[in-house]
Amino acid sequence: MSEAPPATARQILLQRIYLKDASVEVPLAPQVFTRPWTPQVEVQIGTATTQLEQNTYQVMLTVTVTAKLGDDVGFLVEVHQGGIFHIAGFSNDAELQAVLAAYCPGVVFPFAREAVAELVQRGGFPPMLLQPINFEALYVEHLERARTGAAVAEGGPSVSIVQ
């Protein structure tokens, strides 16, 4: 029989992963499928954290992928992937914020990546695999921008990637 951890032990427990919202738009269908497929792809990722109750937090990743052929949008995929975490034992607020902004999005991201890949294929396009993201590095960059006054918005880090 295992003993319960001490009250001050740090805990990060994933309670649930869920897809809150997902959409795919193919504005030029079916004509887009008759054109050579050499898109310019832009990926935008944002995070938001909400405290649901004591020691329980929702971390929401928003992933938007836009594929353009010149000025035309080939497809637009957006996924809102959520995770609910029980986080306890962090007495330092800065450490708690780091867990919420760096560790938790890293746990949720593979599920969002899978949802994006499925929606792109269901839209009739070749497979798309989003590359892994270092949320810890993004959080450190976010803190640095905030420290120097460059970051004005509340919330976690966000990233925009053009492929």
pLDDT, tens digit, 9 for 90 and up, residues 20-57? 999 999 999 999 999 999 999 999 999 999 999 999 99
Q: For residue 118, which amino acid is it?
A: E
Domains observed in the chain: 15-127 (3.10.420.10)
Instruction: Give the helix/strand (H/E) hosting 82.
Output: strand 72-88
Task: Mention every residue, 6+ apart, whose C-beta is less than 8 A from residue 55.
Answer: 86, 87, 88
User: Which pTM does this prediction carry?
Assistant: 0.84
pLDDT, tens digit, 9 for 90 and up, residues 86-143? 999 998 999 999 999 999 999 999 999 999 999 999 999 999 999 999 999 999 998 8
